[in-house]
Chains A and B, each alone.
Chain A
Amino acid sequence: MLDNIPILSLLLVFPLIGAFATLMLGRNPKAARYIALAFSAITLALTVLMLFNFQLSSAMQFEEKYTWISQLGISYHLGVDGISISMVFLSSLLVFLAILFSWDVEERTKEYMGLMLMLEVGVLGVFMSLDYFLFYIFWEVVLIPMYFLIAIWGGPNRAYASIKFFIYTHVASLIMLLGIFALVFTASGPLGGLNFDMLDIMTVSGSITGLLSTAIFFALFFGFIVKMPMVPFHTWLPDAHVQAPTAGSVLLAGLLLKMGSYGIIRICVETFPGVTAEYQVLIAAIGVLSIVYGAFACLAQTDLKKMVAYSSISHMGIVLLGISTLTELGLAAAVFQMFAHGLITAVLFMTCGMFQHKAGTREIPLLGGLAPKLPILSTVMMIGFMASLGLPGLVGFLAEFSVFTATYDAFGTWVMIPIISVAITAAYYLWAMQRSIFGNLTTKIDTEHLHDSYWFETVPLAVLIGFIALFGIYPKLIMDLIVPSISALSLFGVI
């Protein structure tokens, strides 16, 4: 049915047109909202259409390839397999919901909506590119709208946070770019000329050995773990999150962090399975460090949003731990955790944003006993926290459980360290909940005029919670997409 339609290009074109249409036609906030929502809805619809036409196999599908810069062997090459399509779905979904959630943004609405759509172009591009060059371009394109989202609509310290985010991740990308150069030039020998194609390079990457392969691997790996972000390269994240507007945080945590872990699976692991296996323990250690450090840092936070930001570091650590097991289960669970974290963290950041909006503060000590006043918001927050701490039956549990099972297979009883941190996770969530929505009603803020969730807040949250429950109970829907592509990874041929 989709044989002759360049569906992946359409997925990039619609948000792009949408961005320009919003900027040009969004004369008043209302028009801007509807235009942006319409275009993100079209993109989401196309994604769903693509999902229904996706064959459950490991093959790259809906591929498009055109020569772009012949001199340098660069092509416009797009394609999706099970790993990327789940991320593409997550992206279209989250952007659509984030736009809906931002319905009450009155300040420079058209720019806000336009930037969200531009961000969608970049993120989708990263997940669909099969050419290193194209990949890098989309990777960098993502930075610009996010920079503006933080810098214009952010909190009081936005100037510092936005530029820190921009430069920190830009430096990491540049080091990744050096790695890409080295990889492409080394591969140009066996490939008989410059060629930036990921799949072609993958076929010859086995011939790169020794120090060179390690150096290239770590240049790329560095670019990715800064984006994820892993301790000790995480310091940009709390700043960026705390200052970013709510929808910005949702996309930052929900999608941008996934770009890092996606890159590790798609590029580092696929291209250098040997090096990955050699440094397995180091990668696992970075993951565990992030899990534990993130969890402890959460305990110390008084700002709800900052706590959620640190919890992202912890949960992305689980992704890296899953990858480091180098088992089918571990990698599949890592991708599933990426998906799960995208859904859950979106709920968490939305609730944080709503607290800020309604109560005027996110400081836990100032809140308290708000559940009767804000029943919907409090319920949603509870479900979100439960999902995030790994309550069985919700999507987070399954992902974490599988990662820990795989970790036990790969590293034995060392799994105790990350598992203990799960207890800490439960502790900080429950504690935060107890202090903010239960107990006696706070007197430190004005609680007379609290307005519970508006429709445009309730709908995205309800959709997200629906998916969290659905995939928690019936994970097969997503796992069926992921597993064939994971099983086909070249990695398992090597180790």
Chain B
Amino acid sequence: MIDYSALYPEIILIVFAALLPAVHLIARSSRALAGVSLVGIGATIGLELYFILNNMLPLADIGGPSTGLLRLDIFAALFALVFLSVAFFVVLTSARYVEKDRHQAEYYALIMLGTAGMMITASALDLITLFVGLELASISTFALVAFRKKDKRGAEAATKYLIIGGLSSALSLYGISLIYGITGTTNLEGINAALAALPSGLDAGTLLAIGLLIAGFGFKVAIVPFHMWAPDVYEGAPTPISGLLAAGSKKMGMVLLFKVFLVALIALKADWQVLVGVLAILTMTVGNVVALQQTNMKRMLAYSSIAQAGYMIIAIAVATQYAVTGSIFHIATHAFMKGGAFMIVAAMTYVALGENVSDYKGLAKRAPFIAFSLTILLFALAGIPPLSGFFSKLVLFSSAVDAAQIASQNWMIWLAVAGVLNSALSLYYYVRVIRYMYVEKGPTEEKIKLPLSMTVAIAICVGATILIGLWPDPVINICSEAAKALLPGLT
């Protein structure tokens, strides 16, 4: 008898997702559907928390000891919590955002299925499981981006996303098959053992496989030079979904990179470390420089997400437990910062304010709470203390300084230098928005009234950003546990 308890969280989500169309027949309102989804997501969060708080992790692997497919350990649970929180506030915001659209049941069901897919990748022990989770998440988000099919920008974005997504899946699948050919296994640990046992290290096949995997997963995370699609898609998608992509789907890409590079390919570390480091610096710099010129909020946030991904990849280049702690921490804080920012943009679109930065002029007078929240979130993204984004960047960048003190890895100091300089650069475009809101005068001073659900979603993000900033200890602890669970072998 197989113990499926490691899959219970995903099962709950999928059951609720399947339930939604039925609910739709009874209650034809967006709010009822959102309510049911929130119950499902809430229950899953509860279960994950129950597992964590009772120290039940890791649960028994599904698929046996050496050929394991899935393991719900603290790493997977932490990421599941991140994905679920994102789904939670995305659904909360959507309750009013999509109230006039058709096919609402499918909308919520797809969000939940996508989240389940992301959670599966986080607990995958095997390349095949990894790929299944990735595809589940990808296909759900393809449909979500295309949700407003009559909207031209939306349709364009969806087409682009579908093609790029397909290409990225194909590339990574090809990489996976090559790895399987070389090592004879799809088990992540097994691949590492097989590669470590190879006599002469790198041959052309392995190199090609690494390249394909970087490219394939790079599209998901939007690493430069595989980032072109992200701003267009984020701009065209319904704004809550842009939030889901930036705060959820992108983090799944990071999980893929962690699992593949730090678990399966760690034996070849010396061969890809510098390459990943260069990509990290390139990604953050291009993201920030291009963000400087954006006038559309969603595009600006998209480029800022690219830059933030650059910071997160530092951890893969550095490849120490402390660095991965920092990266996981940054992923968790970024989910709230960036998710919250997108929710605010969604809320502003909902009340018929434009998406341009200049539309935010004088917002401080019209919607003091929103202006304050966005200020907090943007400062956190820029890494101003004592907000959560500062602490996670601190751990991340300091890990590079730490690792650089080992003689042969002096170059890593440049990762930290590039990181802090980029943070300073990013301040410019974040502060510009703040300036518009507080300093410039708007066309009117009429108050803006927001639906309660959106206010709550935004308040959750801002609350988490401030609280984690003031009291980061427990979060750092759990991130450090997660890094240990993922990489027992590294220091």
Q: Which residues of A contact B (CB under 8 A)?
A: 68-72, 136-137, 140-141, 143-144, 147-148, 151-152, 158-159, 162-163, 166-167, 170-171, 174-175, 177-178, 181-182, 184-186
A174–B421 CB distance below 8 A: yes
A340 shortest CB reach to chain B, Å: 31
Chain A residues with CB below 8 A from B391, complex form: 69
Contact with A178, one of B401, B428, B435 (Cβ below 8 angstroms): B401
A68–B473 CB distance below 8 A: yes
Chain A residues with CB below 8 A from B405, complex form: 182, 185-186
A178 to B422, CA, bound (A): 13
Using known A-B contacts A170-B424, A181-B401, determine if residue A151 contacts B395 with beta carbons closer than 8 Å: no
Some 16 contacts from A to B, beta carbons below 8 A apart, are: A69-B476, A71-B476, A141-B385, A144-B379, A151-B435, A166-B427, A174-B421, A174-B423, A174-B424, A178-B397, A178-B417, A178-B420, A181-B401, A182-B405, A184-B398, A185-B402
Residue of A nearest to B391 (CB): A69
Q: Which residues of B contact A (CB under 8 A)?
A: 379, 384-386, 390-391, 394-395, 397-398, 401-402, 405, 416-417, 420-421, 423-424, 427-428, 431-432, 435, 438-439, 472-473, 476-477, 480
Residue of A nearest to B472 (CB): A69
Chain A residues with CB below 8 A from B423, complex form: 174
Chain A residues with CB below 8 A from B398, complex form: 181, 184-185
Chain B residues with CB below 8 A from A182, complex form: 401, 405
Chain B residues with CB below 8 A from A178, complex form: 397, 401, 416-417, 420
B465 shortest CB reach to chain A, Å: 15
A181 to B431, CA, bound (A): 26
A68 to B423, CA, bound (A): 25
A137–B386 CB distance below 8 A: yes
Using known A-B contacts A144-B379, A181-B397, determine if residue A163 contacts B428 with beta carbons closer than 8 Å: yes
Using known A-B contacts A69-B472, A182-B401, A185-B401, determine if residue A166 contacts B431 with beta carbons closer than 8 Å: yes
A167–B427 CB distance below 8 A: yes
B385–A163 CB distance below 8 A: no
B428–A167 CB distance below 8 A: yes
Chain B residues with CB below 8 A from A140, complex form: 384-385, 390
Chain B residues with CB below 8 A from A70, complex form: 473
Chain A residues with CB below 8 A from B439, complex form: 151-152, 158-159
Chain B residues with CB below 8 A from A152, complex form: 438-439
A182 to B417, CA, bound (A): 12
Chain A residues with CB below 8 A from B424, complex form: 167, 170-171, 174
A316 to B390, CA, bound (A): 31
Residue of B nearest to A137 (CB): B385
A163–B435 CB distance below 8 A: yes
Residue of B nearest to A184 (CB): B398
A302 to B384, CA, bound (A): 37
A163 to B420, CA, bound (A): 18
A170 to B426, CA, bound (A): 11
Chain A residues with CB below 8 A from B397, complex form: 178, 181
A467 to B428, CA, bound (A): 41
Residue of B nearest to A177 (CB): B420
A143 to B384, CA, bound (A): 10
Chain A residues with CB below 8 A from B432, complex form: 163
A438 to B473, CA, bound (A): 63
Chain B residues with CB below 8 A from A72, complex form: 395, 476
A141 to B428, CA, bound (A): 17
A190 shortest CB reach to chain B, Å: 13
Chain B residues with CB below 8 A from A171, complex form: 421, 424
Chain A residues with CB below 8 A from B379, complex form: 144
A71 to B478, CA, bound (A): 11
Chain B residues with CB below 8 A from A69, complex form: 391, 472-473, 476
A171 to B424, CA, bound (A): 6
- 4 A-B pairs besides A147-B431, A182-B401, A182-B405 with CB distance below 8 A are A69-B391, A137-B385, A140-B384, A178-B397
Most B Cβ at <10 Å: residue of A159, A167, A170: A170
